[in-house]
Amino acid sequence: MFIDDRVRNSMDLYKRAGELIPGKTQLVSRRASQFAEGVSPVYAKHAIGSRFFDVDDNEYIDWNNCVSAIILGHADPVVTQAVKTQIDKGSLFTVNSPLEIELAELLVEQIPSAEMVRYCKGGGEACAIAVKIARGTTGRDKILFCGYHGWHDWYQSVNYLADPKTGEFPIIGIEPIGVPKVLAGTALPFEYGDIANLEELFNQNKGEIAAVMMEPLRSEMPPDGYLEQVKDIANANGALLIFDEVSSGWRTRIGGIQEYVGVTPDMSVFAKAISNGFPMGVVVGSKESMELADRMFISSSYWSDNVGLVASLTTIQQLLLRDSVTQFEEIGSKMRSAMKEAVNSVGLPAEVRGWHFRCTVEFSLPDESLRQGVNTLFIQEMARQGIHTLNSFMPTLSHTDKDIQQTAEAAEKAFTVIMRAMEEGIDKFLDADPRREPFRRFVT
């Protein structure tokens, strides 16, 4: 395998990890195969603002930002100081902290669906808790879902619905190894934007659906009236509507996508950017949908540790103080325009799509089989110029005009290489193996 000298230390560490850690990393999206393996950095030692420094002392502008968890910027000084101050007071108490109530009040104030709150440490946990509460509240077992909702068994069981020999799982790329087979048929996928598909599933499973769990939006607005229809159908059938805003929440509105689109679900889950890099997740919802949870065993020592609580409180307060809604629209608009100019200057057949908080370069290719190679070539060429990204860009409030200009200039050079590669052959220019998608989402 090719290894660029720029990332020699990273790859040496990655090799060591293979002997100690199943899968080499704790998060699938941090595996070397998810970028340009042998060229992209795998390990970092320092991060500040919009940038990080890898273990080979290379500096990168970061547009991935911990899969959206960093929203203010790496090591934001205000959040960091709040956490340091709290640690001196105690990171975990024997009894409860009033911070639990303070954060809950702020969430109820800001999020339309929030009347009651439960805490945890991450998005996957939050989804699992929401599903348990929905099942307990409705007395039903089945969940209809659309999107990616974590690693827990309730969700991964969907892949028992397909023949493992063909590899045609509903969640492509994830096998249900270790998931009890008895859960088969308890989680059922539906296609985003297809109301008829959703109605058919309810008709096929009358009186058995506890909840509809979905990502309300990722890169495009939902069809007119779609989310309203989903809510009406779910509630008419005695099911709860749960929005998974782990990835989409906070950047568009403080109250989440639900505030932006004007549709209030029965429950919502938030994590990642809620605490700017410190572990924290929440489940919020109406009293009607959540109050029965006081009789369910949902409990963990670290779910309300003071570090996560104060980091979330401070992050949300800073988003409000810094007028994050306006700032993200301005930063994202500049980034999208700069990328469009880079595409046009090279004459590359590509389109810049998506939102101001996450724009994506989508290459127009004569053969779809080339896509993974072209995407990897883009990642590779950007990495060599100090830009850490996929083919999408997720800004933080710390990204500057200089960052955008530097990224656009690097992209223009990368696009030029891609143009040549399209003529002379991708393999001639690609040093890394084509990137492998870990799984397919049900929402675009």
Give the pLDDT band (50/70/90) at residue 444: very low
* Residues 222, 223, 229: CA angle, nearest 5 degrees: 95
Quick check: helix, strand or coil at residue 281?
A: strand
Mean pLDDT of 391-410: 97
Residue 169 pLDDT exceeds 90: no
Mean pLDDT of 282-287: 98
Give the domain ranges of the chain.
5-72+323-429, 77-321
User: Which amino acid does the sequence have at 341?
Assistant: E
Which pLDDT tens digit goes with each residue over 69-79?
999 999 999 99
**DSSP collapsed to 3 states, 46-66:** EEEECEEEECCCCEEEECCCC
Q: What is the pLDDT of residue 52?
A: 98
Q: Options 2.60.40.10, 3.40.800.10, 3.50.50.60, 3.90.1150.10; which CATH number does 5-72+323-429 get?
A: 3.90.1150.10
User: Which amino acid does the sequence have at 172?
Assistant: I
Q: What is the pLDDT of residue 217?
A: 87
**CA–CA gap between residue 144 and residue 135 (Å, rounded):** 12
Q: What mean pLDDT value characterizes the chain?
A: 94
Residue 173 pLDDT exceeds 80: no
Mean pLDDT of 28-44: 96
Burial zone of 19 (CB within 10 Å; 0-12 exposed, 13-18 middle, 19+ buried): exposed
HSE at residue 23, side-chain half, CA atoms within 13 A, is 9
Beta-carbon contacts of 181 under 8 Å, excluding residues fewer than 6 positions away, are 160
Residue reference for tokens 């060591």: 16
Q: What is the pLDDT of residue 166?
A: 64
Mean pLDDT of 239-267: 95
**CA–CA gap between residue 127 and residue 20 (Å, rounded):** 29
Q: What is the pLDDT of residue 163?
A: 62
Q: What is the pLDDT of residue 436?
A: 73
Quick check: helix, strand or coil at residue 332?
A: helix
Which pLDDT tens digit goes with each residue over 88-125?
999 999 999 999 999 999 999 999 999 999 999 999 99
Residue reference for tokens 């020999």: 165
User: Which amino acid does the sequence have at 33?
Assistant: S
What percent of the chain has a predicted confidence (pLDDT) above 70?
Answer: 96
The CATH class, in words, for 77-321 is alpha beta
Mean pLDDT of 222-246: 97
Mean pLDDT of 340-359: 93
Residue 411 pLDDT exceeds 50: yes
Which pLDDT tens digit goes with each residue over 293-303?
999 999 999 99
More confident residue, 258 or 219: 258
Q: What is the pLDDT of residue 349?
A: 95
Q: What is the pLDDT of residue 438?
A: 62
Residue 388 pLDDT exceeds 80: yes
Residue reference for tokens 């109250």: 255
